[in-house]
Amino acid sequence: MSYVLGIDIGTSSLKGIILNQKGEVKATESSQYDVNYPYPNFSEQDPKQWIRALKEVLKKLNAHHEGILAKIAGISFSGQMHSLVLLDELGEVIRPAILWNDTRTFKECKEIKEKMGSKILQITKNIPLEGFTLPKVLWVKKNEPGNWKRVWKMLLPKDYVRYWLTGAIHMDFSDASGTLMFNPETKEWSQEILNKFDISPDIMPTPVSSQQEVGKIKSNIAREFSISPNVSVFAGGADNACAALASGVIEKQDAMVSIGTSGVFLSYEEKITNNYDGKLHYFCHVIPERYYSMGVTLSAGNSLKWFKETFATEKTYSELLANIHEVPPGSHGLVFTPFITGERTPYFDPDIKGAFIGISAQHTLDDFGRSVVEGITFSLRESQELLQKETGRVYEKIVSVGGGAKNPDWLQIQSDVFQSNVYSLETEEGPGYGAAMIAAVGIGWFATFEECSKEFVQQQKMTTPHAENIDKYNTVFNIYKQIYRKTAGISRLLKNI
């Protein structure tokens, strides 16, 4: 029996997932790491952490499942998007990776807008945002000229991990389309953008499709972890594209909600004719010639993580949320906005701050816990409303994935707030499951991703909206929506304190 391995380089951990030919999970392991926030708006990670975590995961897979890596026939990857990794000529990392939720690049975004105007949207289908890779490249060029001079290649996290395993330099279309330097129609780096910002095409990795075989594992690494040297390594894809594949979101009427560190409301797109004027992100899918649009909450699960680590250190997530079902919708008049690292959709504002509004003496930790979960979900409803308005679609099926899908009360809140049936997956393994599906297609178990999805993805109908909660949530959501406007000025004043 041969298996496939999916490796997900998330923001909070690296996960390895092994599937058999029926899509059953034979083994899974993970290893955590931290994000560093050295200054306001900065968010960085040391790529060495990913390699340390990868080694730990590979070791644990073999140790807990009797040399299972020897049975792997194909490997592929998913990873946090947009985060910039710079390598020197020796293939060494030059500086910490600047992550997707780092918002230091306000000035660089302004520069891109001034120099490119509407051309950037025309070419890339996206507008300049602090999270995307091009502004990060420009920041290093301007602020760290010594580092910039040493750059041999620029990569994204999963491409760096794959490079460490194989020595080959590539980036797949789904991740390349999140750099703001790539044309998703021609599937090439945009010479016009690179020229405009004086970026040498030599530093760009070769763009390839997600299921392209890109190399073999280096022999010393294969030996160390008892992996067959013949294992095929496939390029892989952006974590959200991989999560959408793993959720079976392959029809226009289906949507995915992912609550990881970030939060995402994602819609499948058959064509690239419409880019919604940059109000939504528009990227290549891992499925050939398919696309997706999405809105992003910068700190979704990250808000809950921050809340837990700050106010309930000793509790697990399950303990923290154990009683939220006893708190009524609206958390006794307490509303949270999850803008703790600024916000993307729909505000695109790196300086907005989070808030609890309505605190009173009778509020308990359970009220706060529920209001954090509700605030994150309201933020995703803003993306849902924007997507529905722009696409004209009403999503008949919303599949919920990521850490946030682990809690049944949160699934109920999602269903009530989105006013839709919310499905969860039988095997909720997130983007790593999609990465393993890419390997399954790559090695030829299936001719297409659609065939693989039909065989592998098992959605469970989990949660339907409670009619009595819908009106209440509409009222609270309307209050939530006013908070951005009313706190934007105050957030700017607080920035300098």
Ligand X SMILES: Nc1ncnc2c1ncn2[C@@H]1O[C@H](COP(=O)(O)OP(=O)(O)O)[C@@H](O)[C@H]1O
Q: Which residues bind ligand 5SP (CB under 6 A)?
A: 10-11, 80-82, 100, 131, 239-240, 260-262, 264, 281, 296
- Residue 11 binds ligand X, judged by CB under 6 A: yes
**Distance of alpha carbon 294 from its chain centroid, rounded?**
11
Stretch that binds ligand X, among 91-99, 140-148, 377-385, 398-406 (CB under 6 A): 398-406
Q: Give 384 or 487: the residue with its C-beta nearer to ligand 5SP.
A: 384
**Distance of alpha carbon 180 from its chain centroid, rounded?**
16
Q: Give 248 or 260: the residue with its C-beta nearer to ligand X.
A: 260
Query: Token pair for residue 447?
Result: 């001719």
Going by C-beta distance under 8 Å and a sequence separation of 6 or more, which residues neighbour residue 86?
Answer: 93, 94, 95, 140, 147, 150, 151, 153, 154
Instruction: Compute the distance between CA of residue 429 and CA of residue 17 in angstroms, rounded to an integer.
Output: 8
Question: Could you tell which of ligand 5SP, ligand X, none binds residue 13, using a CB distance below 5 to 8 A set by kind?
Answer: ligand X
- Does 239 qualify as catalytic in the annotation? yes
Question: Could you tell which of ligand 5SP, ligand X, none binds residue 318, using a CB distance below 5 to 8 A set by kind?
Answer: ligand X
- Residue 260 binds ligand X, judged by CB under 6 A: yes
| Choice from 219, 318, 360, 362 touching ligand X (CB under 6 A) | 318
Burial 180-191 (b: 16+ CB within 10 A, else e): bbbbbeebebbe
Instruction: Compute the distance between CA of residue 108 and CA of residue 136 in angstroms, rounded to an integer.
Output: 8
- Residue 13 binds ligand X, judged by CB under 6 A: yes
Going by C-beta distance under 8 Å and a sequence separation of 6 or more, which residues neighbour residue 485?
Answer: none
Stretch that binds ligand X, among 121-129, 139-147, 314-322, 389-397 (CB under 6 A): 314-322
Backbone angles phi, psi at 64, to 5 degrees: -85, -10
CB contact at 8 A, 15 and 2: no
Least Å distance between CB 218 and ligand 5SP?
27
User: In the bound complex, which residue of the shown chain has the CB atom lying closest to ligand 5SP?
Assistant: 260
Residue 11 vs residues 45, 85, 314, 497: alpha-carbon distances, Å? 9, 14, 22, 29
Question: Could you tell which of ligand 5SP, ligand X, none binds residue 317, using a CB distance below 5 to 8 A set by kind?
Answer: ligand X
Least Å distance between CB 282 and ligand X?
22
Instruction: Compute the distance between CA of residue 158 and CA of residue 237 in angstroms, rounded to an integer.
Output: 8
Beta strand residue intervals within 334-458, DSSP E: 335-337, 355-357, 397-401, 422-425
| Choice from 47, 205, 430, 442 touching ligand X (CB under 6 A) | 430
Dihedral of CA atoms 248, 283, 253, 428 in degrees, nearest 10, equals 30
- Residue 403 binds ligand X, judged by CB under 6 A: yes
Is residue 82 marked as binding?
A: yes
- Residue 337 binds ligand X, judged by CB under 6 A: no
Partner residues linked to 336 by β-bridges: 356
Pinpoint the alpha helices (H) of 167-276.
173-176, 191-196, 219-224, 239-246
Q: Within 10 Å of residue 453's Cβ, how many Cβ atoms? A: 21
- Residue 402 binds ligand X, judged by CB under 6 A: yes
Least Å distance between CB 118 and ligand X?
33
Question: Could you tell which of ligand X, ligand 5SP, none binds residue 403, using a CB distance below 5 to 8 A set by kind?
Answer: ligand X
Q: Give 310 or 318: the residue with its C-beta nearer to ligand X.
A: 318
Least Å distance between CB 489 and ligand 5SP?
27
CB contact at 8 A, 287 and 446: no
| Choice from 12, 21, 166, 459 touching ligand X (CB under 6 A) | 12
Backbone angles phi, psi at 9, to 5 degrees: -95, 90
**Considering 8, 172, 239, 367, which one is annotated as catalytic?**
239
CB contact at 8 A, 386 and 346: yes
Question: Could you tell which of ligand X, ligand 5SP, none binds residue 78, using a CB distance below 5 to 8 A set by kind?
Answer: none
Least Å distance between CB 144 and ligand X?
27
274-303 binders of ligand X (CB under 6 A): 301-302
Q: Give 298 or 335: the residue with its C-beta nearer to ligand 5SP.
A: 298
Instruction: Compute the distance between CA of residue 27 and CA of residue 65 in angstroms, rounded to an integer.
Output: 7
Stretch that binds ligand X, among 116-124, 150-158, 396-404, 449-457 (CB under 6 A): 396-404
404-423 binders of ligand X (CB under 6 A): 404, 406-407, 410
| Choice from 77, 164, 282, 317 touching ligand X (CB under 6 A) | 317
Which sequence positions are flagged as catalytic?
239
Task: Catalog residues that contact ligand X under the rule CB under 6 A.
Answer: 10-13, 260-261, 301-302, 304-305, 317-318, 321, 402-404, 406-407, 410, 430
Binding residues: 81-82
Binding residues for substrate: 81-82
